[in-house]
Structure 1
Amino acid sequence: MDIERIVSVSEFNRLVSDYLEQGLGSVAVQGEVSGFRVSKERLVYFELKDEKARCLCFALTHELDQPLEDGMEVKVTGVPKLFQGSGGFHLRVQAVELVGAGALQKAFEKLKKKLEAEGLFDARGKVPLPRFPESIGIITSPTAAAYTDILRRLHERWGGLSIILAPVAVQGAGAPRAIAGAIQYFNEAHPIDVIILTRGGGSMEDLQAFNSEPLARAVFASKIPIIAGVGHERDVTLVDFVADVRASTPTNAAELVVPHRREVGRQLDQMLQNALGTIERDARTRAFSLQQALMRAWHAIGHRLHVVDGLLARFPYAFERVAYAYHASQERLVQLTLRLRALSPMATLTRGYSITRIQGKILRDATVVSAGDILETELAKGAINSKIM
């Protein structure tokens, strides 16, 4: 047999790998996980096996939506390829889905414990819903009954809303990434007041997209508050724990997002009645306080008037006493004046007497006078100076 073309080993591996990928394309293989391991913190290797055969699978850690461990029954979607270096056949993993309620529940509990330990369920990290949102983003399938139920209930309860739908698949291998992308879109490109993440009910397999780790982390990272209305009240997903608010049903999510206009009207009426009651009570209280203040002022004024009346009543008597005292003092002054005048030396002088002084002192003894002394004699009118010879 003639061989026209000779290729290298590396080229041969590449050719066979391309042939497998192009010839078969994506395939879905179901089996049991065996030999699960992570290399260099990012390379994932495991085998899928059944009773008769095994198949090596390869993926990167960020590509796995579900935590895997040996013994789990899974459905792997991927492309058959050869490793370039070793030529080993493997299935290049594109998506992994858990199969069977037992495996799903086991993975659910394991991931729930992990996220809870990291604080993703902590109530302190929840973002409160706005009381009166103006713009609402809805992430769901446009053909889902949940979408029409939410729209109808929103319009029944409130008006003037801007509602934006981010259409996504809510089931299947690509659903978690699509939903996470819609959350990122609202947060980065089209800011709104609140996000409703919803879908109708179903089995645990149907709701598996809402139990994926990447989606749970996307919900936790959202700066916009998210209300989760996934399935029925009995349906519980990891998104319910991470979301800021959990609604029991899609319709309940709409009821939690906006109030009913009638309820708001009743609240406004009640607030008005309360305000009027408060104003009325305050007015009565102030009127009573004013009345009491006026009564106290009137009593104080009455007391002062009584004091004034007493003073006015005593005034004539006091005036008479003052007048009497004044006249008595005048008479006394006259008497004292007369007595002073009688005792005054000037009065004595007017009767013919005189006063003689020597060197300013009254002279009472003639023996103290010597020749040459100057004497001053004071008369009733005038004075005489004389010299002793």
Structure 2
Amino acid sequence: MNLSSTNGVILTVAELNNRAKSLLESCFPLLWVAGEISNFKRYDSGHCYFSLKDSKAQVRCVMFRNRAALIDFQPREGMQVEARALVSLYEARGDFQLTIEALRPAGLGALFAAYEKLKQKLELEGLFAPERKKPLPAFPRAVGIVTSPAAAALADVIAALQRRMPSLPIILYPTPVQGLDAAAQIASAIQKANQRQEVDVLIVCRGGGSLEDLWSFNEEVVARAIAACTIPLVSGIGHETDFSIADFVADVRAATPTAAAELVSPNSEEWLARLDRQRSRLHRAVERQLQSKMQGLDAAARRLQHPGARLAQQHAYILELSRRLHLAPNRALEKNRYRLTQSALRLNHLKPSTIRQQDRLASLKQRLASALPRTLLQRQQCLSMLAARLEPWNPQAVLARGYALVSRPDGQLVRLGANLKHGDALSLQFADSAVDVRVNKDLGLQGELGL
């Protein structure tokens, strides 16, 4: 038997769970759910799994690591909480579950709403503005502490102040930091410290606790007392993750009461070490100056001489100059003589030898006299040989054998009779003379020319 939907489409289990998940997530917005924690487990991955239940029902919940890291308290079995959650379905098992985005102890919703309302109001008034913050003094003459004498935070602050600056005076303005009238008494203690002006900086502090424990510092009366205080004020309330209204109004917010003490007090060890370094640098600078001045004094002392010694040195110097003056002419004369001798030697070496040049000239004349007839004879023999070689090519010899040169009046030779026509003037060059003729008929069939 097949099970199918009304439209005939058969779904797989995965498809069914996916559709159910999509339907749940689209129908339910992000909402708050109140209940009791049951079966709470935090795994090594950081994810938390538990159930929320009341007297009639329960629902599975999962809180992933990135959201679980934001919880500022430790969830416990049986704790009543309020969870901001998305309704969903775990498809692998088909489990209906809530994906938790935020978790807080039950009953804190009204406190959070009041906290946000007051914070927004004071922020609009400018009580949180950075420009109204006062700087902390670098070396306060006295430190005031507004807290309970029984608070553990007081011991931590005093221990930190004594460790960092034992000589710094501490004035306590005692007040309860928790309870019904705590906010008014905290504001009164701040006002008392501001009126007395006994200290240069003020610490308002207490240890960690729940939102209800720290609520006195979220009251408007405390915030306005801090804002009206003319003494620079540091808040050190709760742990590092705790933020109160007083933290936003204070001139400086410290993560813990101990951190507040460290902010307002200079570290005596660091300053003593800095002073030691400055003293050492000053001592070295003075020593260097003294050594420099002593060296200058020694140099001046070496230059400073007795007048008699100075005169004796000048007298000896004058005697030496006189001796050198007497010796100078002789030395100059000897030097010039030496230079003259060297120049004469170089001149003799460079002087030409006329006898040797005359002998060379006579030899060249003799060689020229013997070479000229020989060269002339060689040239004549060469010329005769060239003339004999050119003789067969002489046109005059050809004409002597009975040939003649036929040319036009302009000197152009006539090589073919076919180029002549009747009446052309010609010149016939024989071996002994030239004769002018004229063509009286054209070239015949036999190629005979009639002149």
Question: The TM-score by the shorter chain falls in which range?
Answer: 0.3 to 0.5
- Higher strand residue share: 1
Q: Which has the higher contact order (CA 8 A, sep 6+)?
A: 1
Task: Look at both structures and tell me which one has the larger radius of gyration over its CA atoms.
Answer: 2
What is the TM-score of this pair, normalised by structure 1?
0.45
